[in-house]
């Protein structure tokens, strides 16, 4: 995918970044803070914030006309699947949290996904 509108590692202009992140529906960007860790509620400064990870999912979904799988991300995505697993517990949870419908590559992936309840993920930093 050499037509990616930004350099996923951050070497881009503000306008290019906004275009890339603009692929994510506004209601998702409004609902989920870009710097909240969904599993802990901690506010942090990620190298790749939530909106950037979501934008890559939406870019792949546009290209393939279906929600991406871990295999799609490995073959065509800008980021390793482990970024999504570390942030959201499973790749499928990251897809769902981004507002897309997960596609399961294997029964094992479905079992790992069932261990999490995305509706309980933090969307905003928790108040301590």
> Which pLDDT tens digit goes with each residue over 85-121?
999 999 999 999 999 999 887 788 788 888 889 999 9
Percentage with pLDDT > 90 across the chain: 62
As a whole number of angstroms, the distance between CA 67 and CA 38 comes to 20
Per-residue pLDDT, 76: 92
Q: Where are the beta strands (DSSP E) in 74-116?
A: none
> In sequence order, which residues have a C-beta less than 8 Å from that of residue 65 and are 6 or more positions away?
none
Does residue 72 surpass a pLDDT of 60?
Answer: yes
Q: Quick one: which of 63, 64, 105, 117 has its CA closest to 81?
A: 105
pTM confidence score: 0.84
Per-residue pLDDT, 1: 46
φ and ψ at residue 75, rounded to 5 degrees:
-80, -40
Mean of the pLDDT values across residues 11-38?
86
Look-up: residue for tokens 């499928």? 92
Sign, Cα dihedral of 76, 80, 85, 86: negative
As a whole number of angstroms, the distance between CA 68 and CA 25 comes to 17
């Amino acid at each position: 995918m050499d037509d990616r509108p930004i350099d996923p590692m951050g070497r881009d202009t503000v306008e290019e970044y906004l275009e890339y992140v603009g692929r994510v529906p506004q209601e998702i960007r409004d609902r989920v803070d870009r710097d909240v860790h969904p599993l802990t509620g901690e506010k942090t400064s990620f190298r790749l914030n939530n909106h950037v990870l979501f934008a890559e999912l939406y870019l792949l979904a546009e290209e393939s006309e279906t929600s991406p799988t871990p295999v799609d991300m490995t073959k065509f995505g800008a980021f390793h699947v482990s970024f999504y697993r570390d942030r959201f517990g499973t790749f499928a949870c990251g897809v769902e949290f981004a507002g897309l419908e997960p596609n399961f590559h294997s029964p094992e992936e479905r079992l790992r996904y069932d261990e999490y309840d995305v509706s309980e993920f933090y969307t905003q930093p928790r108040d301590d």
